[in-house]
Structure 1
Amino acid sequence: MFVHSESESVPHTLEGEVYDSRWKGREAGLKDGFDEGYLRGRAKAIMEAPHTSFPIRPLNVLYVSSGKGFPYSPIDEAIIATLHTLATGVSVAEPGQPVSELAVNVSADLVLVLDGMELPVEEVDAIRAKGIRTAIWLTDDPYYTDMTVRTAPHYDYVFTLERNCLDFYRSAGCANVHYLPFAAYVQHYRPTLTRSPVRREISFIGSAYWNRVQFLQPIIGGLIDKGLMINGIWWDRLPEYASYPDRIEIGKWMGPGETAEVYSGSKIVLNLHRSPHDASVNNNTIGLTAASPNPRTFEISACATLQIADVRDDLSNFYTPGQEIVTFSSPNELLEKVNYYLTHETERREIALRALERTYREHTYSHRLHEMLSRIFG
């Protein structure tokens, strides 16, 4: 007597549902693979396309690092490496060294200082007394202007990453003040060209300044439900932190390589600027406001991922909202845009790729340092 096997005894309707589910799963997997491959392939083409080349100037530049270590050291590395492509001679010093003597020894045409908090102004004055040009690139404007206003006037050239600080330094007696935001160092921040080992829906990497905690708190549950993961210090300030121990990693500084891997492996990366009015961490008693994008803006864009950032007045001069970046001005607007772009793959991908292209076209350290040298030497 013929007996049906167990699989043959499954009702036809259930067989159809199983088949339909498997087919839909296969279709989704194929689409995900195509979307991922398309994104990585387009990103690779953008990165490998010919880009603006800048002249190598016959200059000896002595670069003085911040002396603060991480997280400033990756910026030091980016500037030093880029200077080697723009000047015939590049030497490096630490703030604790006899910088004025070193400047003479290397026949420096320019001494470029990052941050300058650790370098005694007497050293700067001694360099200028020898007829050597000096420049400072300020890293944290306007957050510590109580201190930078005392050091900046000792330099021939002052470069600030905050547009709203230009008149402030001019009024303090600085003769040559220029607006020069940071950029993306594309050797650090770049998309992975194969599927990233990190797979996230939404990421935020940064410290829990109070304005960020207060902004995110009303929508944190909704963002977590959509897949948000946070890395950074102080996030135990968030009252809901204990409810999401597997989604919020605290007490860890992520280096550029690991950060770029997370950016590249995330569908959306959030960028929420710190407040210039937080007296608990800032030294900005004059109350200067901030209009300019933070360095993270360029670094996220260099990783070919969709960036959703809070509005700053000068942001649109670097990336076009709705085309190369997405902006928000309230918690509910942020949540709405997260929901939208998580379900609109093509729009999300095209914005991310346009941001990558704009970054390579205008916002690398080569662009910034070429501009700096042009301002100083013509």
Structure 2
Amino acid sequence: MPNVRLFKDQLRHLVKEVLAIKLQHNLAEYLAQYQPDLILALGSETMFPEENITALKASKVPKAVWMADATCLTRTERNLALLFDYIFTQNIANLIYYQGLRGKESSFLPYAPDTDLYYPRRVENRYHSDVLILGHFQMNSVLHTLAHSELFHGLKVMTVGSGWEPTKDFIDITHDKKEMSNYYNGARIVINCTGSMQQIMEVSACGVFQFVEDHPHLQCYRIAEEALIRFQNFKELSESFKYYIAHSDERRISASRALKEVKYNYSYLQQGKLLLRKIFTEP
């Protein structure tokens, strides 16, 4: 779910007027009073009340939903997609389903980082680590090889993801969303194997250096090579890690570039421009 206030504030720079209402508000009354040019739903955790579904179906105004479908595609999201003309997804894999819906336009558009949560700052020692690994532990994966190597000998390593329990030398952390920013800011190096463009941007928004495992999502959003250090296998990661762990200035330069890219190229203002362009200018 995006930060509604941040998105609304940025959207006001692009359009004449923005009105934000809650899911439970009477949509028909607002449509009659304000006669908007676009209905945009943010998030996808909850289905609309029945009376608002009726109002949506009756309206001739363009309707768009910016899904919060970063992981799996839920039944609620499948049902929501049927109500809208334009569908924006967090997960490029979900495009296969959305594109199969007749009369719908769908696009991959990750949320911008919530800069109320993700920004550079000092944190308490309990959040500090030499390496923070993001991703699920699976057999025969890069992370599996990594866990059984000597690459992190003598380093404090924290992990976020499922399946890490057998790796006793690593600290598997539990967290809520607010705390993740603290763990990002406390890490010297982040190894990001999530495949989540939003999570990559959240780490970058904290000004933290990260290695990123190549993923199809990244083909759509090309942040400069100097800003994100990519790898495809353990050999590439190992070689890059040995270099950058010994060159703190290079890490700072890379992290600063990523922070700048996210701030100026992947803000809610920029993502809002892309969203509106898809709806109002593209054939």
User: In which range does the TM-score fall when normalised by the shorter chain?
Assistant: 0.7 to 0.9
Cα distance in structure 2, aligned partners of 1:234 and 1:169: 28
Cα distance change, pair 101–212 in 1 and its aligned pair in 2 (3 A): farther
Unaligned runs of 5+ in 2: none
2:136 & 2:21 partners in 1: Cα distance? Answer: 32
Structure 2 vs 1, CA of residues 132 and 142 (structure 1 numbering), >3 Å: closer, same or farther?
Answer: same
Is 1:345 aligned to residue 251 of structure 2? Answer: no
Match of 1:238 in 2: 165
- CA drift of 1:358 comes to 1.8
Q: What is the distance in 2 between the residues matched to 1:128 and 1:213?
A: 48
Unaligned runs of at least 5 residues, structure 1:
1-71, 275-292
Could you tell me which residue of structure 1 aligns to residue 26 of structure 2?
98
Matched, 1:136 2:54: no
Instruction: Pick from 80, 90, 115 the counterpart of residue 43 of structure 2.
Output: 115
Structure number with bigger Rg: 1
2: CA distance, partners of 1:312 / 1:342: 23
Cα contact 1:138–1:160 (8 A) shared by 2:
yes
CA contact 1:319–1:358 (8 Å) conserved in 2: yes
Deviations, residues 299-319 of structure 1 (Å, cap 9, x unaligned)? 112222211111113425421
1:178–1:248: structure 2 CA closer, same or farther, 3 Å change rule?
A: closer
Select which of 194, 209, 223 maps to 1:273.
194
Mapped contact 2:184–2:208 kept (Cα < 8 A): yes
Please provide the CA RMSD for this pair. Answer: 3.2
Relative to structure 1, is the Cα distance of residues 214 and 127 closer, same or farther in structure 2, using a 3 angstrom cutoff? same
The residue that corresponds to 1:319 in the other structure is: 223
CA drift at 1:142? 6.6
1:202 aligns with 2:131: yes
- 1:1-378 alignment to 2 at 5 Å? 72=1, 75-120=3-48, 123-140=52-69, 143-144=72-73, 148-166=77-95, 168-192=97-121, 197=124, 199-204=128-133, 209=136, 211=138, 215-220=142-147, 222=150, 223=152, 225-230=154-159, 232=160, 234=162, 238-241=165-168, 244=170, 247-250=171-174, 252-255=175-178, 258-273=179-194, 293-316=196-219, 317-321=221-225, 323-378=226-281
Equivalent-residue separation in structure 2 for 1:306 and 1:297 (angstroms) = 10
Q: CA deviation at 1:240?
A: 2.6
Query: Is residue 189–residue 299 contact of structure 1 (8 Å, CA) maintained in 2?
Result: yes
Q: CA deviation at 1:324?
A: 1.3
Which whole-Å CA distance do the structure 2 matches of 1:315 and 1:343 have between them?
Answer: 27
- Name the CA shift for 1:107/1:90 in 2 (closer, same or farther; >3 Å): same
Distance in 2 between the 1:174 and 1:157 partners? Answer: 9
1:126-180: per-residue Cα shift (whole Å, max 9, x none)? Answer: 2241333311012225721665344313212111234454454232114322332
1:309-346 deviations in Å (ceiling 9; x for gaps): 1111342542133x111122234543443332111122
User: Which digits, 9 at most, give the CA deviation of each residue in 1:187-227, with x for residues without a partner?
Assistant: 432223xx55554322235xx64549965344336437322
Percent identity between matched residues is: 23
Quote the offset at 1:181 in angstroms: 2.2
Q: Distance in 2 between matches of 1:363 and 1:92?
A: 22
**Do the aligned residues in 1 keep the contact of 2:67 with 2:87 (CA within 8 Å)?**
yes
Task: Work out the CA distance in 2 between the residues paired with 1:334 and 1:352.
Answer: 17
The separation in 2 between residues aligned to 1:85 and 1:261, in whole angstroms, is 31
Opposite residue 369 of structure 1, the aligned amino acid is: G
CA 209–100 in structure 1, closer or farther in 2 if over 3 Å, else same = farther
Summarize the Cα distance change of 1:137–1:213 in structure 2 as closer, same or farther, 3 Å threshold: farther
Q: In structure 1, what residue type is equivalent to 2:38? A: L
